[in-house]
Amino acid sequence: MADRAYFDWNATAPLRPESRAAVLAALSHVGNASSVHADGRAARRLVEDARASVAALVGADARNVVFTASGTEANNLALTPSIAVGSQKTCDRLIVSAIEHPSVRAGHRFPADRVEELPVTAAGVIDLAALRAQMARGARPLVSVMLANNETGVVQPIHEVAEIVHEAGGLLHVDAVQAVGRIECDINDLGADLLTLSSHKIGGPQGAGALVVRDAALHIAEPLIRGGGQERGQRAGTENVAAIAGVGAAAKAARQALSTETPRMAALRERVERGLRATMPEVVIFGEESRRLPNTTLFAVPGLKAETAIIAFDLEGVSVSSGAACSSGKVAASHVLAAMDVEPRFAAGAVRVSLGWDTQEGDLERLQNAWIKVSASLLKQRGIAA
Ligand code: PLP
Protein backbone atom coordinates (compact mmCIF):
# COMPACT_ATOMS: atom_id res chain seq x y z
CA MET A 1 0.00 0.00 0.00
CA ALA A 2 1.25 3.51 -0.80
CA ASP A 3 2.54 5.71 2.03
CA ARG A 4 -0.48 7.94 1.95
CA ALA A 5 -3.93 7.95 0.40
CA TYR A 6 -4.83 11.19 -1.36
CA PHE A 7 -8.49 12.22 -1.31
CA ASP A 8 -8.21 15.94 -1.97
CA TRP A 9 -8.46 16.03 -5.76
CA ASN A 10 -10.82 19.01 -5.73
CA ALA A 11 -8.02 21.05 -4.12
CA THR A 12 -5.49 19.82 -6.65
CA ALA A 13 -5.02 16.66 -8.70
CA PRO A 14 -1.77 14.76 -9.20
CA LEU A 15 0.16 15.62 -12.34
CA ARG A 16 -0.69 13.19 -15.13
CA PRO A 17 2.39 11.38 -16.51
CA GLU A 18 1.62 12.73 -20.00
CA SER A 19 1.60 16.26 -18.59
CA ARG A 20 4.85 15.80 -16.69
CA ALA A 21 6.54 14.57 -19.90
CA ALA A 22 5.21 17.54 -21.88
CA VAL A 23 6.35 20.06 -19.24
CA LEU A 24 9.83 18.56 -19.09
CA ALA A 25 10.16 18.48 -22.88
CA ALA A 26 9.03 22.11 -23.14
CA LEU A 27 11.44 23.20 -20.39
CA SER A 28 14.33 21.84 -22.43
CA HIS A 29 13.35 23.98 -25.33
CA VAL A 30 14.57 27.56 -25.86
CA GLY A 31 12.29 29.96 -27.69
CA ASN A 32 9.83 32.77 -27.12
CA ALA A 33 6.52 31.86 -28.75
CA SER A 34 6.40 35.36 -30.26
CA SER A 35 9.81 35.11 -31.97
CA VAL A 36 9.81 34.57 -35.70
CA HIS A 37 12.88 32.30 -35.91
CA ALA A 38 12.69 28.51 -35.88
CA ASP A 39 13.13 28.25 -32.09
CA GLY A 40 10.32 30.73 -31.54
CA ARG A 41 8.13 28.93 -34.04
CA ALA A 42 8.72 25.64 -32.25
CA ALA A 43 7.60 27.23 -28.95
CA ARG A 44 4.56 28.66 -30.75
CA ARG A 45 3.74 25.16 -32.02
CA LEU A 46 3.72 23.82 -28.45
CA VAL A 47 1.36 26.60 -27.39
CA GLU A 48 -0.97 26.12 -30.35
CA ASP A 49 -1.05 22.31 -29.98
CA ALA A 50 -2.00 22.81 -26.35
CA ARG A 51 -4.66 25.32 -27.32
CA ALA A 52 -6.18 22.79 -29.73
CA SER A 53 -6.23 20.08 -27.01
CA VAL A 54 -7.85 22.37 -24.44
CA ALA A 55 -10.40 23.52 -27.02
CA ALA A 56 -11.23 19.91 -27.92
CA LEU A 57 -11.83 19.02 -24.26
CA VAL A 58 -14.63 21.62 -24.03
CA GLY A 59 -15.88 21.49 -27.64
CA ALA A 60 -14.60 24.97 -28.46
CA ASP A 61 -12.79 26.54 -31.37
CA ALA A 62 -9.04 26.71 -30.62
CA ARG A 63 -8.83 30.42 -31.48
CA ASN A 64 -11.31 31.10 -28.66
CA VAL A 65 -9.03 29.78 -25.88
CA VAL A 66 -7.08 32.37 -23.86
CA PHE A 67 -4.39 30.94 -21.59
CA THR A 68 -4.09 32.50 -18.12
CA ALA A 69 -2.01 31.79 -15.02
CA SER A 70 -4.90 30.14 -13.12
CA GLY A 71 -8.61 29.48 -12.99
CA THR A 72 -8.77 32.40 -10.58
CA GLU A 73 -7.27 34.71 -13.20
CA ALA A 74 -9.62 33.41 -15.89
CA ASN A 75 -12.61 34.20 -13.64
CA ASN A 76 -11.20 37.68 -12.92
CA LEU A 77 -10.67 38.25 -16.63
CA ALA A 78 -14.19 37.16 -17.56
CA LEU A 79 -16.23 39.03 -14.96
CA THR A 80 -16.04 42.60 -16.19
CA PRO A 81 -18.46 45.19 -17.50
CA SER A 82 -16.06 45.56 -20.42
CA ILE A 83 -17.26 42.36 -22.09
CA ALA A 84 -18.00 43.26 -25.67
CA VAL A 85 -19.50 41.63 -28.73
CA GLY A 86 -17.76 43.29 -31.66
CA SER A 87 -17.43 46.94 -30.64
CA GLN A 88 -20.51 46.89 -28.40
CA LYS A 89 -20.15 46.63 -24.59
CA THR A 90 -22.82 44.31 -23.33
CA CYS A 91 -23.39 44.07 -19.60
CA ASP A 92 -23.61 46.55 -16.78
CA ARG A 93 -24.76 44.31 -13.95
CA LEU A 94 -23.57 40.97 -12.66
CA ILE A 95 -25.55 38.11 -11.14
CA VAL A 96 -23.52 35.43 -9.35
CA SER A 97 -24.82 32.36 -7.58
CA ALA A 98 -24.45 32.19 -3.81
CA ILE A 99 -22.21 29.11 -4.04
CA GLU A 100 -19.54 30.40 -6.43
CA HIS A 101 -15.83 30.10 -5.73
CA PRO A 102 -14.27 33.20 -4.10
CA SER A 103 -12.56 34.05 -7.41
CA VAL A 104 -16.05 34.68 -8.83
CA ARG A 105 -17.64 36.17 -5.72
CA ALA A 106 -14.80 38.62 -5.11
CA GLY A 107 -12.83 38.53 -8.35
CA HIS A 108 -15.13 40.53 -10.58
CA ARG A 109 -14.70 44.10 -11.81
CA PHE A 110 -18.27 45.32 -11.32
CA PRO A 111 -19.09 48.05 -8.77
CA ALA A 112 -20.63 46.53 -5.61
CA ASP A 113 -24.04 48.09 -6.26
CA ARG A 114 -24.21 46.36 -9.66
CA VAL A 115 -23.82 42.85 -8.26
CA GLU A 116 -26.68 40.57 -7.23
CA GLU A 117 -26.62 37.15 -5.63
CA LEU A 118 -28.63 34.24 -6.96
CA PRO A 119 -29.93 31.83 -4.28
CA VAL A 120 -29.70 28.04 -4.31
CA THR A 121 -32.13 25.43 -2.98
CA ALA A 122 -31.46 23.21 0.05
CA ALA A 123 -30.28 20.59 -2.46
CA GLY A 124 -27.49 22.93 -3.56
CA VAL A 125 -29.00 23.68 -6.97
CA ILE A 126 -29.51 27.13 -8.51
CA ASP A 127 -33.03 28.44 -7.92
CA LEU A 128 -34.21 28.82 -11.52
CA ALA A 129 -37.41 30.68 -10.55
CA ALA A 130 -35.31 33.26 -8.70
CA LEU A 131 -33.04 33.58 -11.75
CA ARG A 132 -36.05 34.22 -13.99
CA ALA A 133 -37.29 36.92 -11.62
CA GLN A 134 -33.85 38.54 -11.39
CA MET A 135 -33.42 38.54 -15.16
CA ALA A 136 -36.72 40.37 -15.60
CA ARG A 137 -35.57 43.13 -13.26
CA GLY A 138 -33.17 45.65 -14.82
CA ALA A 139 -30.64 45.82 -17.60
CA ARG A 140 -28.90 42.95 -19.48
CA PRO A 141 -26.69 41.16 -17.00
CA LEU A 142 -23.65 38.96 -17.11
CA VAL A 143 -24.55 35.84 -15.11
CA SER A 144 -21.95 33.57 -13.53
CA VAL A 145 -22.95 30.07 -12.43
CA MET A 146 -20.50 27.25 -11.87
CA LEU A 147 -20.95 23.89 -13.61
CA ALA A 148 -20.11 21.89 -10.47
CA ASN A 149 -19.58 23.06 -6.94
CA ASN A 150 -16.14 22.50 -5.45
CA GLU A 151 -17.49 21.58 -1.99
CA THR A 152 -20.59 19.46 -2.65
CA GLY A 153 -19.88 18.41 -6.24
CA VAL A 154 -23.48 19.36 -7.13
CA VAL A 155 -23.81 19.82 -10.89
CA GLN A 156 -25.86 22.84 -11.92
CA PRO A 157 -28.53 22.83 -14.67
CA ILE A 158 -26.44 25.07 -16.92
CA HIS A 159 -28.41 24.31 -20.05
CA GLU A 160 -31.59 25.65 -18.42
CA VAL A 161 -29.69 28.58 -16.90
CA ALA A 162 -28.37 29.46 -20.38
CA GLU A 163 -31.86 29.40 -21.88
CA ILE A 164 -33.19 31.78 -19.22
CA VAL A 165 -30.18 34.11 -19.49
CA HIS A 166 -30.18 34.24 -23.28
CA GLU A 167 -33.94 34.71 -23.55
CA ALA A 168 -33.49 37.89 -21.50
CA GLY A 169 -30.53 39.01 -23.63
CA GLY A 170 -27.84 38.36 -21.00
CA LEU A 171 -24.50 36.57 -21.20
CA LEU A 172 -23.49 33.46 -19.24
CA HIS A 173 -20.10 32.71 -17.72
CA VAL A 174 -19.59 29.19 -16.40
CA ASP A 175 -16.81 28.33 -13.98
CA ALA A 176 -16.23 24.73 -15.04
CA VAL A 177 -13.01 24.29 -13.05
CA GLN A 178 -14.25 21.28 -11.06
CA ALA A 179 -16.26 19.68 -13.84
CA VAL A 180 -13.86 19.64 -16.77
CA GLY A 181 -12.28 16.21 -17.19
CA ARG A 182 -14.75 14.64 -14.73
CA ILE A 183 -18.00 14.91 -16.67
CA GLU A 184 -18.87 15.84 -20.24
CA CYS A 185 -18.40 19.57 -20.63
CA ASP A 186 -19.08 21.03 -24.07
CA ILE A 187 -19.36 24.81 -24.25
CA ASN A 188 -21.96 24.61 -27.05
CA ASP A 189 -24.12 21.95 -25.39
CA LEU A 190 -24.00 23.90 -22.14
CA GLY A 191 -24.82 27.17 -23.88
CA ALA A 192 -22.11 29.04 -21.96
CA ASP A 193 -20.76 32.22 -23.53
CA LEU A 194 -17.57 32.10 -21.48
CA LEU A 195 -16.07 29.15 -19.64
CA THR A 196 -13.23 28.90 -17.12
CA LEU A 197 -10.99 25.88 -16.59
CA SER A 198 -7.92 25.24 -14.48
CA SER A 199 -4.90 23.13 -15.36
CA HIS A 200 -4.20 21.57 -11.98
CA LYS A 201 -7.71 20.16 -11.57
CA ILE A 202 -7.35 18.09 -14.74
CA GLY A 203 -3.87 16.75 -14.03
CA GLY A 204 -1.79 19.57 -15.48
CA PRO A 205 0.70 21.73 -13.57
CA GLN A 206 -0.44 24.31 -11.03
CA GLY A 207 -0.44 27.94 -12.14
CA ALA A 208 -2.18 27.67 -15.50
CA GLY A 209 -5.77 28.06 -16.64
CA ALA A 210 -7.86 29.20 -19.55
CA LEU A 211 -10.82 31.36 -20.41
CA VAL A 212 -12.74 29.94 -23.34
CA VAL A 213 -15.36 31.87 -25.32
CA ARG A 214 -18.03 30.30 -27.51
CA ASP A 215 -18.16 33.00 -30.14
CA ALA A 216 -15.03 34.69 -31.50
CA ALA A 217 -16.89 38.03 -31.63
CA LEU A 218 -17.07 38.09 -27.83
CA HIS A 219 -13.98 39.55 -26.17
CA ILE A 220 -12.83 41.47 -23.12
CA ALA A 221 -12.44 45.11 -24.17
CA GLU A 222 -10.30 45.89 -21.10
CA PRO A 223 -8.11 42.89 -20.32
CA LEU A 224 -6.66 42.43 -16.83
CA ILE A 225 -3.04 42.24 -17.94
CA ARG A 226 -2.01 44.69 -20.63
CA GLY A 227 1.20 45.58 -22.37
CA GLY A 228 1.65 42.97 -25.08
CA GLY A 229 -0.33 41.43 -27.88
CA GLN A 230 -0.09 37.86 -26.65
CA GLU A 231 -3.25 35.73 -26.52
CA ARG A 232 -4.85 37.94 -29.16
CA GLY A 233 -4.52 40.93 -26.88
CA GLN A 234 -6.60 39.30 -24.14
CA ARG A 235 -3.69 38.46 -21.81
CA ALA A 236 -0.34 40.18 -22.19
CA GLY A 237 2.96 38.61 -21.14
CA THR A 238 5.31 36.03 -22.59
CA GLU A 239 3.51 32.70 -22.53
CA ASN A 240 4.48 30.10 -19.93
CA VAL A 241 5.16 27.56 -22.64
CA ALA A 242 5.99 24.67 -20.29
CA ALA A 243 2.83 25.09 -18.22
CA ILE A 244 0.74 25.53 -21.35
CA ALA A 245 2.25 22.40 -22.90
CA GLY A 246 1.45 20.61 -19.62
CA VAL A 247 -2.18 21.69 -19.58
CA GLY A 248 -2.52 20.69 -23.23
CA ALA A 249 -1.20 17.19 -22.54
CA ALA A 250 -3.44 16.87 -19.47
CA ALA A 251 -6.45 18.00 -21.51
CA LYS A 252 -5.70 15.42 -24.20
CA ALA A 253 -5.30 12.61 -21.65
CA ALA A 254 -8.42 13.68 -19.75
CA ARG A 255 -10.48 13.71 -22.94
CA GLN A 256 -9.27 10.26 -23.99
CA ALA A 257 -10.03 8.76 -20.58
CA LEU A 258 -13.30 10.55 -19.78
CA SER A 259 -15.69 7.80 -20.82
CA THR A 260 -13.93 5.20 -18.66
CA GLU A 261 -12.89 7.44 -15.77
CA THR A 262 -16.33 8.90 -15.07
CA PRO A 263 -18.05 5.57 -14.28
CA ARG A 264 -14.96 4.23 -12.49
CA MET A 265 -14.86 7.27 -10.20
CA ALA A 266 -18.61 7.00 -9.59
CA ALA A 267 -18.25 3.35 -8.54
CA LEU A 268 -15.40 4.19 -6.16
CA ARG A 269 -17.29 7.13 -4.69
CA GLU A 270 -20.33 4.89 -4.15
CA ARG A 271 -18.13 2.51 -2.15
CA VAL A 272 -16.71 5.40 -0.11
CA GLU A 273 -20.22 6.51 0.83
CA ARG A 274 -21.35 2.95 1.66
CA GLY A 275 -18.32 2.59 3.91
CA LEU A 276 -18.96 5.88 5.71
CA ARG A 277 -22.55 4.85 6.43
CA ALA A 278 -21.72 1.27 7.36
CA THR A 279 -19.63 2.67 10.23
CA MET A 280 -21.93 5.56 11.15
CA PRO A 281 -25.47 5.36 9.76
CA GLU A 282 -26.22 8.96 10.73
CA VAL A 283 -23.76 10.31 8.14
CA VAL A 284 -25.32 13.16 6.16
CA ILE A 285 -24.11 13.62 2.58
CA PHE A 286 -24.68 17.15 1.30
CA GLY A 287 -26.35 17.49 -2.08
CA GLU A 288 -26.96 13.73 -2.22
CA GLU A 289 -30.39 14.16 -3.78
CA SER A 290 -28.95 16.22 -6.66
CA ARG A 291 -26.82 15.27 -9.63
CA ARG A 292 -23.21 15.37 -8.41
CA LEU A 293 -19.73 15.01 -9.84
CA PRO A 294 -18.71 11.34 -9.75
CA ASN A 295 -15.69 12.06 -7.56
CA THR A 296 -16.94 14.20 -4.66
CA THR A 297 -18.54 13.48 -1.28
CA LEU A 298 -19.10 16.18 1.32
CA PHE A 299 -20.35 14.63 4.54
CA ALA A 300 -20.86 15.33 8.23
CA VAL A 301 -22.12 13.74 11.43
CA PRO A 302 -23.32 15.72 14.43
CA GLY A 303 -20.50 16.36 16.88
CA LEU A 304 -17.75 15.87 14.30
CA LYS A 305 -15.50 18.93 14.00
CA ALA A 306 -13.98 19.28 10.55
CA GLU A 307 -10.62 20.53 11.80
CA THR A 308 -10.24 17.65 14.26
CA ALA A 309 -11.37 15.08 11.69
CA ILE A 310 -8.95 16.32 9.04
CA ILE A 311 -6.04 16.09 11.48
CA ALA A 312 -7.15 12.61 12.61
CA PHE A 313 -7.36 11.40 8.99
CA ASP A 314 -3.99 13.00 8.29
CA LEU A 315 -2.38 11.11 11.19
CA GLU A 316 -3.67 7.92 9.57
CA GLY A 317 -1.98 8.91 6.30
CA VAL A 318 -5.14 10.07 4.57
CA SER A 319 -5.52 13.51 2.97
CA VAL A 320 -9.08 14.83 3.04
CA SER A 321 -10.26 18.39 3.47
CA SER A 322 -13.00 20.54 4.76
CA GLY A 323 -15.16 21.56 1.83
CA ALA A 324 -14.62 25.11 2.95
CA ALA A 325 -10.84 24.95 3.29
CA CYS A 326 -9.72 28.42 2.44
CA SER A 327 -6.50 29.60 0.88
CA SER A 328 -5.01 30.47 4.27
CA GLY A 329 -5.10 26.77 5.26
CA LYS A 330 -7.66 27.37 8.00
CA VAL A 331 -11.14 25.92 8.04
CA ALA A 332 -13.58 28.76 7.39
CA ALA A 333 -17.38 28.65 7.65
CA SER A 334 -18.76 27.36 4.37
CA HIS A 335 -20.72 29.94 2.37
CA VAL A 336 -21.95 27.04 0.24
CA LEU A 337 -23.54 25.14 3.13
CA ALA A 338 -24.87 28.42 4.55
CA ALA A 339 -26.53 29.12 1.18
CA MET A 340 -28.08 25.63 1.35
CA ASP A 341 -29.45 26.45 4.83
CA VAL A 342 -27.50 23.63 6.46
CA GLU A 343 -27.66 23.72 10.26
CA PRO A 344 -24.41 25.11 11.69
CA ARG A 345 -23.87 21.98 13.85
CA PHE A 346 -23.58 19.95 10.62
CA ALA A 347 -21.81 22.61 8.57
CA ALA A 348 -19.01 22.90 11.15
CA GLY A 349 -18.15 19.25 10.66
CA ALA A 350 -18.27 18.94 6.90
CA VAL A 351 -15.45 16.81 5.51
CA ARG A 352 -14.81 16.52 1.78
CA VAL A 353 -13.51 13.36 0.17
CA SER A 354 -12.59 13.81 -3.49
CA LEU A 355 -10.94 11.25 -5.72
CA GLY A 356 -9.73 10.84 -9.30
CA TRP A 357 -8.22 8.78 -12.08
CA ASP A 358 -5.33 7.52 -9.95
CA THR A 359 -7.40 6.47 -6.90
CA GLN A 360 -6.93 2.77 -6.19
CA GLU A 361 -8.66 0.06 -4.11
CA GLY A 362 -5.89 0.32 -1.50
CA ASP A 363 -6.63 4.03 -1.05
CA LEU A 364 -10.25 3.23 -0.30
CA GLU A 365 -9.23 0.65 2.30
CA ARG A 366 -6.99 3.16 3.97
CA LEU A 367 -9.73 5.78 4.01
CA GLN A 368 -12.21 3.32 5.50
CA ASN A 369 -9.79 2.17 8.21
CA ALA A 370 -9.08 5.79 9.13
CA TRP A 371 -12.81 6.53 9.25
CA ILE A 372 -13.41 3.60 11.61
CA LYS A 373 -10.84 5.15 14.00
CA VAL A 374 -12.16 8.72 13.60
CA SER A 375 -15.73 7.63 14.25
CA ALA A 376 -14.72 5.43 17.21
CA SER A 377 -13.11 8.42 18.89
CA LEU A 378 -16.20 10.53 18.16
CA LEU A 379 -18.41 7.86 19.80
CA LYS A 380 -16.04 7.78 22.79
CA GLN A 381 -16.27 11.58 23.12
CA ARG A 382 -20.05 11.38 22.99
CA GLY A 383 -19.97 8.70 25.73
CA ILE A 384 -17.83 10.95 27.94
CA ALA A 385 -20.10 13.91 27.29
CA ALA A 386 -23.29 11.89 28.02
N1 PLP B 1 -13.21 27.82 -9.44
C2 PLP B 1 -13.44 26.73 -8.72
C3 PLP B 1 -14.82 26.15 -8.69
C4 PLP B 1 -12.42 26.14 -7.97
O5 PLP B 1 -12.68 25.07 -7.23
C6 PLP B 1 -11.13 26.72 -8.01
C7 PLP B 1 -10.03 26.17 -7.21
O8 PLP B 1 -10.22 25.43 -6.29
C9 PLP B 1 -10.93 27.86 -8.81
C10 PLP B 1 -11.99 28.38 -9.51
C11 PLP B 1 -9.59 28.52 -8.91
O12 PLP B 1 -8.71 27.83 -9.75
P13 PLP B 1 -7.13 28.01 -9.58
O14 PLP B 1 -6.73 27.16 -8.42
O15 PLP B 1 -6.54 27.54 -10.87
O16 PLP B 1 -6.89 29.44 -9.34
Cβ within 8 Å of residue 237, ≥6 positions away? 225, 227, 228, 230
Atom of ligand 1 nearest to the CA of 148: 3
pLDDT at 173 over 90: yes
Residue 91 known to be catalytic:
no
Tens digits of residue pLDDT in 267-296: 999 999 999 999 999 999 999 999 999 999
Q: Which residues line ligand 1 (CB under 6 A)?
A: 70-72, 75, 101, 103, 146, 150, 175, 177-178, 198, 209
Whether 134 and 203 share a structural domain: yes
Whether 9 and 21 share a structural domain: no
- Tell me which of 201, 326, 335 to substitute to probe ligand 1's pocket, judged by most ligand atoms within 8 Å of the beta carbon: 201
Nearest Cα residue to atom 7 of ligand 1: 11
CB burial readout 250-286, b (16+ within 10 A) else e: bbbbbbeebeebbebbeebbeebbebbeebbeebbbb
Q: What does the pLDDT average to over 248-261?
A: 98
Domain end, chosen from 202, 233, 252, is at 252
Q: How far apart are CA 218 and CA 30, in angstroms?
A: 33
Residue 190's nearest CA partner among 141, 155, 217, 219 is: 155
User: What is the model's pLDDT at position 208?
Assistant: 98
**372-381, Cβ contacts within 8 angstroms, sequence gap of 24 or more:** 372/279, 373/312, 373/316, 374/304, 374/309, 374/312, 374/313, 374/316, 375/279, 375/280, 375/301, 377/312, 378/280, 378/301, 378/303, 378/304, 381/303
Q: How far apart are CA 192 and CA 109, in angstroms?
A: 20
Residue 211's nearest CA partner among 362, 58, 333 is: 58
pLDDT at 24 over 60: yes
From the CA of 178, how far away is ligand 1's center (Å)?
7
From the CA of 1, how far away is ligand 1's center (Å)?
30
From the CA of 201, how far away is ligand 1's center (Å)?
8
Atom of ligand 1 nearest to the CA of 146: 3
Supply the CATH number for residue 71's domain. Answer: 3.40.640.10
Whether 355 and 247 share a structural domain: no
Atom of ligand 1 nearest to the CA of 12: 8
CB 101 within 8 Å of CB 177: yes
Pairing of strands 218-220, 83-85: antiparallel
Whether 67 and 161 share a structural domain: yes
Q: Kindly state the percentage of the chain with pLDDT values over 70.
A: 97
User: What is the model's pLDDT at position 371?
Assistant: 97
Whether 178 and 301 share a structural domain: no
From the CA of 71, how far away is ligand 1's center (Å)?
5
Whether 154 and 230 share a structural domain: yes
- Total domains, the chain: 2
Phi and psi based region of residue 31 (left: phi greater than 0; alpha: psi -120 to 50; beta: remaining): left
Nearest Cα residue to atom 13 of ligand 1: 71
- Tell me which of 150, 212, 247 to substitute to probe ligand 1's pocket, judged by most ligand atoms within 8 Å of the beta carbon: 150
User: What is the model's pLDDT at position 330?
Assistant: 60
Nearest Cα residue to atom 8 of ligand 1: 11
User: What is the model's pLDDT at position 2?
Assistant: 66
From the CA of 26, how far away is ligand 1's center (Å)?
25
Tens digits of residue pLDDT in 285-334: 999 999 999 999 999 998 899 999 999 999 999 999 987 655 555 667 89
List 326, 332, 376, 379, catalytic entry: 326
From the CA of 321, how far away is ligand 1's center (Å)?
15
Supply the CATH number for residue 378's domain. Answer: 3.90.1150.10
Whether 203 and 235 share a structural domain: yes
- Tell me which of 99, 178, 195 to substitute to probe ligand 1's pocket, judged by most ligand atoms within 8 Å of the beta carbon: 178
Q: Is 12 helix (H, G, I), strand (E, B) or coil?
A: coil
Whether 136 and 268 share a structural domain: no
Structural domain containing residue 89:
17-252
User: What is the model's pLDDT at position 17?
Assistant: 98
User: What is the model's pLDDT at position 329?
Assistant: 58
Whether 247 and 315 share a structural domain: no
pLDDT at 213 over 90: yes
The total number of residues shown for the chain amounts to 386
Of 303 and 199, more confident: 199
